Structure 1
Amino acid sequence: MPEPFKNFFNIPLIEKMGALLCNAYPAFDQDKFIALASADFENLELKQRSNQIRDALVATLPNTIDVSGPILIQTLGSQAPIDGGTTQEQDSGLSGFAIMPMADFVAQVGLNNPTTSFDVLEELTKRFSAEFAVRPFIIANQEGAMRQFAKWAKSKNAHVRRLASEGCRPLLPWGIRLQAFVQDPTPVLNILEKLKDDPEEYVRRSVANNLNDIAKNQPDLVAKIAKDWLKGATKNRERLVRHACRTLIKQGHQPTLEALGYQALDARFSDFEVQSDKVKLGEALVFQFVIENKSDKPQPIILDYAIHFMKANGTLAPKVFKLKTGTLKPHDVLKIKKTHMIKPITTRTFYPGSHKIEILANGKSLGSLPFILEI
């Protein structure tokens, strides 16, 4: 059985943090820090452990970032590899997950001194990521924070450039929601524009994820950006745009699909059938169909299928799954057979009754068939 994720925070790490902090700041109460940080540790999950370590830092370090910031920096180990992992247990200094509570400490005690705090976070993010800790600074002073992000976007360090994008994602998972950027992402777009051709895939992937966040509330805006960015685009930028548009592609958002070169298909859809019109939970839905390119020209195609699951109120809600992306050659005939297991999962409650399978090509429905799910 794999090690629980929460065990990235453990007692040896706390003891190592305590020893390094004491070396950097002889007045540091190492015993108090270890006692506070490790209290009832086994019963805490990952974020709870991180927060408890942060609180122990607040209780034992000077409460001004001008003093505590340099102390934290003295404890740091080597920089993390670019997109190649974060934990470096053999490092004599601190890196990896140890940085998370340290960055949160900076956000808690340094909010009234962003200049020094940003300097400290810049060093911390090179060893893990300060993407969560920078968000309170955006909320407190958006204009000032985004000026700093613009500077980070020009950094020679890829970790810092990535922070400029990742830190201002409107809907960063597990991060504070940046509602102002949900409503108006213009300040974020100014940062992404600077980073869209970054030499590191690590940074470009963050740009794509940021745009994907924006797309969830501003789909037409992202479709326009995709169209603009694809003009004269390199292969790297093309991959970025496609990844940024993944949610809109699955939703069949027509302006986005058109920006990516996917038009309505000139094709014949036939022989669509399900192997059985009754499927038991835990078994497979098997379906098949044929698509024939009726054109003398090749046609780009994104082929998906949607299963319309019954909800508690008896209505159906679609969940889209990928089938195939490619190009139909002139008069090509594509025969598809797919097996989809419908098995219990923790993120969905299944209800018995009439469901539906639908085939989608370039965002357009080609046809649907009903089936009964038996529980």
Structure 2
Amino acid sequence: MGVMNELINPGVVRSLERILAAAAPGHSLTRLAATAGALDELTLRERTDLLSRALLADLPGNYSGAAAIFRRALDDPDFAGWMIWPVTETAATLALARKETGDFEDCLALLAELTPRLTAEFAIRRLLAADLDRALAVIVGWTSHPDWQVRRLASEGTRAYLPWAIRVPEITDRPAATLPILDALYRDPVEDVRRSVANHLNDLARHAPDEVVATAARWLAAPDANTPRVVRHGLRTLLKKAHPGALELLGFPPASLAVTPPRLDRTVVELPGELAFDFEVSNIGPAEARLAVDYVVHYAKANGTRAEKVFKLGTSVLGPGESRRFSKRHAFRQMTTRRHHPGEHVLELQVNGVRYAPTEFLVRTDTDVGRDGDLTGRQI
């Protein structure tokens, strides 16, 4: 995270000071200048907040005055990059100070103007949290904006679980509230916009799976060439969770299958290490079978329980009587996003949402213990 913190550094502060000084003649930016020497040991978010507090102290104490300065600064092409984040936060703070005025709507317009210079997706969350319906009434209009980055902001800024951003509980409580935005953008000509739409839909799937499947079905009924890909990406979590409607919609209905237990290349995995396994799927039914093949690792936790994670393995089509062997090597390495604990783990296969053949194996941290070369695991 240290490298991320340096996205706002003393050089960025000095550039922002120069740009705003030119856009705000007569205003002293002493507080902003002082932040250049106070960034050490601060996270990126903390640096953003520090600069925003300085801007609030240096600039006019009302939204309209500060917004005019920020708009003049847009004439400078160097007014871009991570210096934009504290600027957007400052605008939101001032606009929310007098929410009953037109500052609220003008701030949304300003964020749309600023977002091509970095992104305004973090600051916009505060306006959404303050008055969701009022904000969405403006944001839905962005879906026809000529700048694709503003169209992307409409989808990305309103995601339920936008990374790095504050949560807006009303979005999760009212999953239908943002669907008009997605309906307008799922066929957008720009890939970055469509990807945001898919990620937004996947966020909604956490708490409104049936509504998400119904939305995806509507899109597939009026598709363009990119719609199937958008739907697959938007339903990826439901597919892993074996949601019947998602599986059916993506063409993976129930099938008559025989699945062999996984054959492990070892029953003990030393950290760091890998577990290789293979297994066979056979279509024992009378019709062709389309397969979505996954595997599940049930990781041992420090408290003795297990936590599962589903991993995609592939798709396939088998005719009646046909079989296919699948193989995979799964890595076990300590990461910032997953801490491995020694103990009994379980590997489980998942085909078209049905779980098969849970098989135990051991993860150890003691490097003195020899590897077990047995090619079978212990089914449970």
Instruction: Compute the TM-score of the two structures, normalised by the length of structure 1.
Output: 0.90
Residue in 2 that maps onto 1:88: none
Q: Does 1:219 align with 2:209?
A: yes
Query: What whole-Å deviation, never above 9, does each CA across 1:68-95 have from its counterpart, x for those lacking one?
Result: 1121111126xxxxxxxxxxxxx74311
Match of 2:86 among 94, 101, 104: 101
In structure 2, the partner of 1:283 is: 273
Q: How does 1:165-176 map to 2 (within 5 A)?
A: 165-176=155-166
Report the Cα offset of residue 214 of structure 1: 0.7
Aligned twin of 2:41: 43
Equivalent of 2:190 in 184, 200, 205: 200
1:296, distance to aligned residue in structure 2 (A): 5.8
Match of 1:85 in 2: none
Find the counterpart in structure 1 of residue 126 from structure 2.
136
Q: Is 1:352–2:342 an aligned residue pair?
A: yes
Kindly indicate whether the alpha-carbon contact (under 8 Å) linking 1:6 and 1:45 is maintained by their aligned counterparts in 2. yes
Q: How does 1:3-152 map to 2 (within 5 A)?
A: 4-35=3-34, 37-76=35-74, 92-111=77-96, 112=99, 113-152=103-142
**Residue 186 of structure 2 contacts residue 194 of structure 2 at CA under 8 Å; is this kept in 1?**
yes
Residue equivalent to 2:238? 248
Aligned residues of 1:226 and 1:260 also touching (Cα < 8 A) = no
CA contact (8 A) 1:170 1:182 kept: yes
Deviation at 1:366, TM superposition (A): 2.5
CA distance in 2, matches of 1:158, 1:129: 12
What secondary structure, in the 3-state scheme, does the structure 2 residue paired with 1:41 have?
A: coil
- Equivalent in 236, 260, 284 of residue 226 of structure 2: 236
1:312 CA displacement: 2.8
Match of 2:260, SS state, is strand
Structure 2: state its 5+ residue gaps: 366-380
Query: Contact 1:21–1:28 at 8 Å: present in 2 too?
Result: no
1:273 corresponds in structure 2 to 263
d(CA) in 1 for partners of 2:62 and 2:40? 31
Match of 1:321 among 311, 323, 326: 311
Cα distance, 1:339 vs. partner? 1.6
Say which of 139, 145, 159 aligns to 2:149: 159
Contact 1:19–1:30, Cα closer than 8 Å, also in 2: no
1:265 shift after superposition: 2.6
> Could you tell me how far 1:369 is from its partner in structure 2?
1.2
CA distance in 2, matches of 1:270, 1:32: 68
Q: What is the deviation of 1:228?
A: 2.2
CA deviations 1:238-266 (Å, max 9, x no partner) are: 11111111111111222211111111233
Give the count of matched residue pairs.
360
Rate the CA distance shift 1:369–1:271 in 2: closer, same or farther, 3 A: closer
Q: Following the alignment from structure 2 to structure 1, what is the Cα–Cα distance between the partners of residues 255 and 273?
A: 33
Q: Distance in 2 between matches of 1:64 and 1:329?
A: 69
**What letter corresponds to residue 59 of structure 2 in structure 1?**
L
Asked if 2 retains the 8 angstrom alpha-carbon contact of 1:269 and 1:291, the reply is yes
Q: In 1, distance between residues paired with 2:31 and 2:142?
A: 36
Q: CA deviation at 1:269?
A: 1.7
SS in 2 for 1:94: coil
Q: 1:14 to 1:365 in 2, by over 3 A?
A: same
Distance, in Å, in 2 between the alignment partners of 1:10 and 1:177 is 27
User: Is the 1:152–1:164 Cα contact (8 Å) retained in structure 2?
Assistant: yes
**Partner secondary structure for residue 357 of structure 1:** strand
Residue type of the partner of 2:40?
E
Shift of 1:42: 2.4
Q: CA RMSD in A?
A: 2.0
CA contact (8 A) 2:14 2:36 kept: no
Q: 2 CA distance for matches of 1:185 and 1:55?
A: 34
- The amino acid that maps onto 1:205 is R
Q: Give 3-state SS (helix, strand or coil) of 2:74's partner.
A: coil
Letter in 1 for 2:74: L
The whole-number CA distance in structure 1 between the counterparts of 2:266 and 2:142 is 57
Paired with 2:186 and 2:300, the residues of 1 have a C-alpha distance of 40
Query: 1:279 touches 1:373 (CA, 8 Å); kept in 2?
Result: yes
Instruction: For 1:23, give the aligned amino acid.
Output: A
Counterpart-to-counterpart distance in 2, 1:233 and 1:331: 34
Distance 1:276 1:150 in 2: 54
- In structure 1, the partner of 2:296 is 306
Task: Give, as a single letter, the amino acid of the residue that structure 1 aligns with 2:29.
Answer: Q
Is residue 30–residue 58 contact of structure 2 (8 Å, CA) maintained in 1? no
Distance, in Å, in 2 between the alignment partners of 1:162 and 1:207 is 8
